[in-house]
Structure 1
Amino acid sequence: MASPGHASPVVSPSQSLQAKPSEGALSQAPLRPSAPPSLSRARAIALVATCTTAMVVNVSNSTAISISLPMIGRDINIPQDQLQWLLSAYALSSGCLLLFFGRLADLHGRKKAFVLGMFTQLVFALGCGFASSGITLDVLRGFQGLGAAAAIPSALGCLAHSFPPSRARTIAFSTFAAGAPVGGAFGIIVGGVVTQLSDDHWRGTFFMAAGLSALTLIGGLLSMSPDKVDWEADRRVDWIGAALVTAGLVLIVFVLGQGQIAPHQWRTPYIIATLVIGVFLVAVFLVWEHHLEKASSDPNRPKSIWTPPPLMKLSLWSRAKGRVAVVLAIAFLNWAGFLSWSLWAQLYYQNYLGLSAIHTMVRFIPMFITGILCNFFVALVVARLPLVIFVVSGTLITAGAAMLFALINPSATYWAFGFPSTVLIVFGADFVYSAGTIFLAKIANHGEHSVVGALFQTMTQIGTAFGLTITTIVFDRVVISESAKLGTTLNADASNAPAAADLKGYRAAQWTSAAFALLAAILAALFLRGVGIVGHERRREPRDSDETIAVLHRSQDTAREKPIVTETVA
């Protein structure tokens, strides 16, 4: 984007990214993105509401179930050490297939992918509600996660395509971002109420998810514009890359979830082997994608089943002088801290203080309210403040909230530690998601909005798994150490740990959560200072700094130096 004093015309980010022709391709007409559909105000509001509800459903599908785990285990006889699979099965399928489904959505239609994803969530949520065994429930939860993997990147792609760079896009992305923290709080709140009060007990949580999925499905059918697939684009699918990255991420996330509870923990042979294989597959995926991107840049290379367009261009990470990679790393770290805080705060209330599910739920209500207010704030000022302000302030506030909980005094009132911590914890999630996704939408080329959204969402999912793993290790080590100091030998499930040892474990886990958020703040302060403003005041003249767009590609200057010769179709 040219600065206000620059003589060149102002172009949108996606246009500038498309302007650079590859060598030897001057005789070909460049692919032009189709014009965004013209939406009425009512339809635009319905579209944003539908996409945001999809995010709420996705996140609440984890948090609502987590608060119901003890009752599920008792009702259908699931062993304590196997309950985690009800969360892991959903996380594995929803997190590890995001890139693949994001690519399919960009190629074959985002509305189709969204509708199919929400229908999948609806069907398998109902199935979960009628499940009568642990194995059945685990399998159905895995299929339920497939729906989220298809719906979320499609929703992001729909918003990016339907709202060109403008204040409307800023509001749309800020509202969508509210779905993550609001969905987390909503799941805990409503899950607690349903679990305590409904006739079906824990099954009511799944029926609630099915009802929300049905409403979102109807909303997608009515509010989303028909898909307009670019038939001139190369629509081949990188099946090899999809298999490599999906298998690799599944194995890594599996290890992160099971390493601490395996028979010999991280020294268990199958844990070590699985981790090595998972990392190897992801490394091979990166090499393969580099090969495909290099092959696709050669216009004289004949098409082959071995050289489809890459599932994910590695050059995407280096755009904006590598700041895309920084934003993705910050998302990873912030979600590691945010979701770890949520888990250990919940366990503290239920296991340490002995509160019921509904009393625990009440303590998370401030997070729900703050999440909504934060995104209203972002929508109002994101066009006036640079990206670094949002990310640094948000992650620092999240770190402060975790520190506050780490200092908690069980004898003190909730209003002294728990309440302010719950109010502050969502700032990082809201600010990073809102401003971060707006930034990524700017640098995305035509036809890759869903993939970019999927990549961001994948980093948050892996960050969550990583954060929960590290904080669990810290908690366990501290409890073991403190129990030994108090002369207590722990049993297999550490249920006889002294209360003082448990308290120190909870505090240590929260200090670790704070460390993740602090590291994210440091990265933002060091590497995002020159990005500038990512929001928009007006549709025609978006207010961006030179750094936000100009550093992405030198395409505008190249386009002036190398005029594109279009080919006339007879």
Structure 2
Amino acid sequence: MPSALPSSRTRWWSLAILGLTQLMVVLDGTIVAIALPAAQADLGMADGQRQWVVTAYAVSFSALLLLGGRIADFWGRKRAFMVGMVGFGVASAWGGLAQSGGELIAARGLQGVFAALLAPSALAMVSVLFPSGRDRNVAFAVFGIIAGTGAAFGFLLGGALTQYADWRWCLLVNLVFVVAGLIGGKVLLVESKAEGDTRYDIVGTVIVALSLGALIYGFARAEHGWDEPETWGFLAVGAGLMGVFVWWQSRTSHPLLPLRVVRDRVRGGAFLLQAMVGVVMVGAMLYLTFHFQIVLGMSPLMAGFGNVAMTVVIMATAPISTTLFTTFGPRVVLTVGPLLAAAGLFFLSGITAEGSYWSEVLPGLVVMGLGFSLIFVPVQNLALSGVDAHDAGVASAMANASMHVGGSIAVAVFTALYSSAMADALAQGTERLPALAGAYGDVLFAAAWAMILGAATSFVLFRGSKPEVPESVDAVATAR
């Protein structure tokens, strides 16, 4: 850590730069999603290839986040941030100029590699710059709101760029963020790094990357049928390798993910809840966007606006949600939040080809916004509560990885679910648009059950009430 914290003014300007980075990383998970129909047509991609434009980013990001967090801790968080910015810009330019589906997928994968360096270094620097007290709560509230609204902002920005410019600008726009981040980072950010043991766990990195790759590919293969031996073979290999990874982390002297980071009940609960959030924000919202454009016939821009209702609700109710959190504690708030989100998803699962946005979509998005508002503000702070400075980067990486692993698996599973439902409906003589609406509804119904699981996780693991809230979040209401 730096020997002394920067001035208050410098710290808040630094937060602005780090928040901008967080926005870029989060919205890049969704900004391309709304451009997929246009990109698919332009590059001649099949439906099965289309999902990998989203999945390639999420897989490489989540597979390398833990290593990225350790690099940030050991090599230097500012240095990792700057290198990540440059690499992310290069990958974005490549994707924006791609001439084939394979090239676009490769560029998205490279984006994920450098995002895995950027995201944990940014969040770790926030943790270091704001070590405790009211300022820390405000800083994490900012990051929580960005995480909660960035995905929807990605849909809106992607819609505007696709409609009025070209789908390629959904990638090229990152260069604006990159230039701002490099200039601001050079001028404002201060270096910090962990002391002591700084050896990298390369073996652990390879194991966890192979494990996640096998799991996600296995779920993606389920599109061809759950009875395929290849599907279950990859799933079994992925699960087995994950077990090997946990065993290795308990044996090696320099683990990629020190088990002390995830063994804490509150912190572990926060990681699991973030995975469930990723199922919805990365997986389910992708198919709701398809419904807007393909079934309801919305333009890309109007499809982007279609998601804004949830964002507005999250931002409007965030101060109230923070007050409720400090009053009632994590168990109540982080159980009620997922239940509200699930209620909104259950409502959305009833979408039809003949229905309207106003009657079949908007009410569900409003309820979802209320639910996610209760989740986003506290969950990142809880995920980093009580973490030693030596582990700030890897804990930040785990917080990000949880959401993106959940989202990566969800995209693969939901694609299989959608394909199966669509095939069954068409075989029964259902017309194409009603069949699509029904298949998308099945995806949203499954996502609702993921949020029910998130509520159960919170209820079981956050067993205390207000006394269990970490001291660092206890004063957040007064900062509002």
- TM-score normalised over the length of structure 2: 0.91
Q: Give unmatched runs, 5+ long, in structure 1.
A: 1-32, 293-307, 489-496, 545-570
Structure 2 counterpart of 1:235, from 176, 191, 198: 198
In the TM superposition, 1:364-379 aligns within 5 A as 364-379=307-322
Aligned to 1:515: 449
In the TM superposition, 1:144-543 aligns within 5 A as 144-198=111-165, 201-230=166-195, 233-256=196-219, 258-261=220-223, 264-292=224-252, 308-319=253-264, 322-379=265-322, 382-408=325-351, 411-484=354-427, 486-487=428-429, 497-530=431-464, 532=466, 534=469
| Counterpart-to-counterpart distance in 2, 1:442 and 1:267 | 43
| Counterpart-to-counterpart distance in 2, 1:526 and 1:439 | 15
| Counterpart-to-counterpart distance in 2, 1:184 and 1:106 | 27
Q: Are the structure 2 counterparts of residues 190 and 34 from structure 1 closer, same or farther at C-alpha, using a change threshold of 3 Å?
A: closer
Structure 1 counterpart of 2:20, from 53, 64, 69: 53
**Quick check: 1:174–1:378 contact (8 Å CA) kept in 2?**
no
What count of residue pairs does the alignment treat as equivalent? 475
Q: C-alpha deviations, 1:352-399, integer Å up to 9, x for none?
A: 222221221221222332333344444555444411233122212211
Shift of 1:483: 3.7
Q: Are the structure 2 counterparts of residues 156 and 515 from structure 1 closer, same or farther at C-alpha, using a change threshold of 3 Å?
A: same
Amino acid corresponding to residue 47 of structure 2 in structure 1: Q
Q: C-alpha deviations, 1:397-425, integer Å up to 9, x for none?
A: 21111112123455454333322222332
| Counterpart-to-counterpart distance in 2, 1:408 and 1:86 | 26
**Quick check: 2:351–2:438 contact (8 Å CA) kept in 1?**
no
| Counterpart-to-counterpart distance in 2, 1:499 and 1:79 | 19
Higher helix share: 2
Q: In percent, how many aligned pairs have the same letter?
A: 25
Shift of 1:153: 0.9
**Quick check: 1:338–1:425 contact (8 Å CA) kept in 2?**
no
Q: Are the structure 2 counterparts of residues 69 and 79 from structure 1 closer, same or farther at C-alpha, using a change threshold of 3 Å?
A: same
Shift of 1:487: 4.0
Q: Are the structure 2 counterparts of residues 383 and 323 from structure 1 closer, same or farther at C-alpha, using a change threshold of 3 Å?
A: closer
Amino acid corresponding to residue 184 of structure 1 in structure 2: A
Aligned to 1:84: 51
| Counterpart-to-counterpart distance in 1, 2:183 and 2:331 | 38
Q: C-alpha deviations, 1:27-55, integer Å up to 9, x for none?
A: xxxxxx765613323x2222222222212
Shift of 1:337: 3.0
**Quick check: 1:383–1:537 contact (8 Å CA) kept in 2?**
no
In the TM superposition, 1:552-563 aligns within 5 A as none
Shift of 1:187: 1.2
**Quick check: 2:249–2:257 contact (8 Å CA) kept in 1?**
yes
| Counterpart-to-counterpart distance in 2, 1:384 and 1:375 | 14
Aligned to 1:120: 87
Aligned to 1:562: none
SS in 2 for 1:63: coil
**Quick check: 2:69–2:396 contact (8 Å CA) kept in 1?**
yes
**Quick check: 1:337–1:515 contact (8 Å CA) kept in 2?**
no
Aligned to 2:32: 65
1:74 has 2:41 as partner: yes
Structure 1 counterpart of 2:5, from 33, 37, 45: 37
C-alpha RMSD of the superposition: 2.5
**Quick check: 1:170–1:379 contact (8 Å CA) kept in 2?**
no
**Quick check: 2:353–2:434 contact (8 Å CA) kept in 1?**
no
**Quick check: 1:387–1:531 contact (8 Å CA) kept in 2?**
yes
**Quick check: 2:120–2:394 contact (8 Å CA) kept in 1?**
yes
1:99 has 2:62 as partner: no
Shift of 1:428: 4.2
| Counterpart-to-counterpart distance in 2, 1:107 and 1:60 | 28
**Quick check: 1:92–1:142 contact (8 Å CA) kept in 2?**
yes
Q: Which stretch of structure 1 is more off in the superposition, 239-248 or 97-106?
A: 239-248
**Quick check: 2:162–2:170 contact (8 Å CA) kept in 1?**
yes
**Quick check: 2:348–2:441 contact (8 Å CA) kept in 1?**
yes
Aligned to 1:561: none
| Counterpart-to-counterpart distance in 2, 1:526 and 1:249 | 26
Shift of 1:190: 0.9
Aligned to 1:566: none
- TM-score normalised over the length of structure 1: 0.77
**Quick check: 2:322–2:378 contact (8 Å CA) kept in 1?**
no
Q: Give unmatched runs, 5+ long, in structure 2.
A: none
Amino acid corresponding to residue 353 of structure 1 in structure 2: L
Amino acid corresponding to residue 338 of structure 2 in structure 1: T
Q: C-alpha deviations, 1:130-151, integer Å up to 9, x for none?
A: 2222222222221111111011
Tell me which structure has the larger Cα radius of gyration.
Answer: 1
| Counterpart-to-counterpart distance in 2, 1:537 and 1:203 | 42
| Counterpart-to-counterpart distance in 2, 1:342 and 1:505 | 14
Aligned to 2:102: 135
Q: Are the structure 2 counterparts of residues 158 and 208 from structure 1 closer, same or farther at C-alpha, using a change threshold of 3 Å?
A: same
| Counterpart-to-counterpart distance in 1, 2:35 and 2:281 | 20
**Quick check: 2:351–2:437 contact (8 Å CA) kept in 1?**
no
Q: C-alpha deviations, 1:91-126, integer Å up to 9, x for none?
A: 121111001110111112111111111211111111
**Quick check: 1:338–1:398 contact (8 Å CA) kept in 2?**
no
SS in 2 for 1:225: coil
**Quick check: 2:221–2:230 contact (8 Å CA) kept in 1?**
no
**Quick check: 1:394–1:431 contact (8 Å CA) kept in 2?**
yes
Q: Are the structure 2 counterparts of residues 343 and 93 from structure 1 closer, same or farther at C-alpha, using a change threshold of 3 Å?
A: same
**Quick check: 1:192–1:357 contact (8 Å CA) kept in 2?**
yes
| Counterpart-to-counterpart distance in 2, 1:537 and 1:187 | 30
Shift of 1:229: 4.8
